[in-house]
Amino acid sequence: MRVRAATPADLPTLERLWRDFCAEVPPPEFEDDDADEELREVAEIVAGEIALVAEDEDGTPVGFVLARRAGERLGRVTDLYVVPGARRTGVARALVREAAERLRAHGLEAVDLDVMAGNAVARAVYAHWGFREEVLRLVARLDELAPRLEADVEAPTRGVVYVQTDDFVAVERAVTAFAPRIGSRRSHVEPPVEGWTRVRDEVAEREPGALRRLARELSERLGAVVLSLGIEAGAVVRLVALERGSVVDEYLSVPEFHGPLPPGDVVAMAANPRVLARLTGADPAAIRAAAPTARSPGELAPALQLAAGLAAALGLPPLDG
């Protein structure tokens, strides 16, 4: 395999590879794919910037990289593509290494690139090479943004912890010991109902991270099954189930509400009815029906209604009341 500079004679090959790349990794949902404009930029880079082609032993093009100056000290990799059959053979590394050397020869000190947030494989490779996040671009659908902003005002973050025990005194003692560590001055432990003792805390009520820490601490200290149930940003429902301090299941009604996740993590955010049934004695079918997931809050029932239905399915005292 060799890496060489691309010439105008390579433009048809670069166009073919570029179109293969776009077919494999479509542009972001809300960006126009103006192929003619993009290909004009490819031609400009070939003519005056850094354009490299990788060829196999037979001289067949197997990848390309385009890079250009983006500032006084910054270069930018605009495109990088390797054909599927040549991946994991060092082609991408060789292309980027040569591009980096040429950028440095031009007096540049750093290089950046764009990568789709959901492209976990590419992000892992770039991180291994030394790229790090400096700027994140966030995109929101306008038809979803307004309802979420309204929900933040009308239904703020809230949450409670349920401990599977009738030992009110033991729960109160554990809460009293832990609450100062999250800066809380007021916690309330309610008498058990149907085998569940409900805990409210002024800090954990409005901070999901503190709610989960409180649940973990109580589960670990008491060796008990503990559930935290909350509404985040007035829009999504999160349930975390712990047993002896370890998380055994987690549910988020909109798995990617807080940002893109790898596919496996998205699946993991769906409630596991069998696990929750074992912990609570509830009917798995009822749990499954009460714990739907969606791509946006607008596709589900209001968060408070969803949380109430999930609590009822699990046999818990209501979130409010």
> Considering only CA atoms, which of 127, 77, 136, 85 is closest in space to residue 102?
77
319, part of any domain: no
Assigned domain for 320 exists: no
Model confidence at 29, pLDDT cuts 50, 70, 90, reads low
Q: What is the C-alpha to C-alpha distance for residues 67 and 76, in angstroms, rounded to an integer?
A: 5
- 4 close to 53: Cβ distance less than 8 angstroms: yes
Nearest-angstrom CA–CA distance, 62 and 82? 6
pLDDT band at 151 (very low <50, low <70, confident <90, very high): low
Range of the domain at 153: 146-314
Q: Where are the alpha helices (DSSP H) in 193-262?
A: 208-222
How many CB atoms lie under 10 A from the CB of residue 62?
21
303 or 152: which carries more pLDDT confidence? 303
* Number of domains comprising the chain: 2
Does pLDDT of 91 surpass 70?
A: yes
Q: What is the pLDDT of residue 241?
A: 97
* Residue 112 and residue 220 in one domain: no
Residue closest to 63 by CA, chosen among 107, 116, 18, 25: 18
Same domain? 237 vs 268: yes
Question: What is the tens place of the pLDDT at every residue in 97-148?
Answer: 999 999 999 999 999 999 887 788 888 899 999 999 888 787 777 877 776 5
Instruction: Indicate if 280 and 193 belong to the same structural domain.
Output: yes
Residue 321 lies in a domain: no
Report the side by side order of strands in the sheet with 74-82. 2-5, 50-55, 61-69, 74-82, 110-113
pLDDT at 148: 59
Mean pLDDT value across the chain: 90
Across the range 14-20, mean pLDDT stands at 94
User: Residue for token digits 């009341």?
Assistant: 321
Kindly state whether residue 225 falls inside one of the protein's structural domains: yes
pLDDT tens, residue by residue, 59-83: 999 999 999 999 999 999 999 999 9
The pLDDT tens digits for 171-209 are: 999 998 887 766 666 889 999 999 999 999 988 888 888
Domain of 236, CATH number, reads: 3.30.70.1270
pLDDT at 181: 66
Residue with tokens 């991270």: 209
What is the separation of C-alpha 204 from the centre of its chain, rounded to a whole number of angstroms? Answer: 23
154 and 262 part of one domain: yes
Is residue 141 in a domain? no
Distance in angstroms (rounded) separating the CA atoms of residues 262 and 255: 10
Whether the Cβ atoms of residue 124 and residue 115 lie closer than 8 Å to each other: no
Residue type (1 letter), 146: A
| pLDDT above 70 as % of the chain | 92
Structural domain contains residue 139: no
Q: Can you give the pLDDT at residue 257?
A: 87
Residues in the chain: 321
- pLDDT at residue 24 is higher than 90: no
Q: What is the pLDDT of residue 263?
A: 79
pLDDT at 272 over 70: yes
pLDDT at 12 over 60: yes
Identify the domain boundary among 75, 99, 129.
129
75 and 190 share a domain?
A: no
Percent of the chain at pLDDT exceeding 90: 67
Place of tokens 């008990």: 224
CA Rg, the chain, in Å? 26
Contact 272, 195 (CB under 8 A): no
Domain endpoint, select from 98, 129, 160: 129
pLDDT of 147:
61
93 to each of 31, 148, 217, 255, 269, how far by Cα in Å?
28, 42, 45, 33, 35
Are 157 and 270 in a shared domain? yes
Same domain for 112 and 208, yes or no, is no
Inside any domain, residue 65: yes
Give pLDDT tens digits for 228-255: 999 998 889 999 999 999 999 999 999 9
Residues 168 and 305 in one domain: yes
What is the mean pLDDT of the segment spanning 291-311?
A: 92
Q: Are residues 6 and 32 in the same domain?
A: yes
Alpha-carbon torsion (300, 306, 312, 314), positive or negative? positive
Mean pLDDT of 262-281: 90
**Helix, strand counts (H, E) of the chain:** 11, 11
Asked, for residue 88, whether it belongs to a domain, the answer is yes
Query: Are residues 175 and 306 located together in one domain of the fold?
Result: yes
Range list of β-strands (E), 158-288: 158-163, 187-189, 197-201, 225-232, 236-243, 246-252
Q: How confident is the model at residue 319 (pLDDT cuts 50, 70, 90)?
A: confident
Q: Give me the amino acid identity at 295.
A: R
188 and 70 in one domain? Answer: no
> What are the C-alpha distances in Å from 259 to residues 84, 117, 118?
28, 9, 10
pLDDT-based confidence at residue 157 (cuts at 50, 70, 90)? confident
Do residue 117 and residue 152 come from a single domain?
A: no
Among positive and negative, which fits the CA dihedral 169, 223, 287, 309? positive
Q: What is the mean pLDDT of residues 210-239?
A: 94
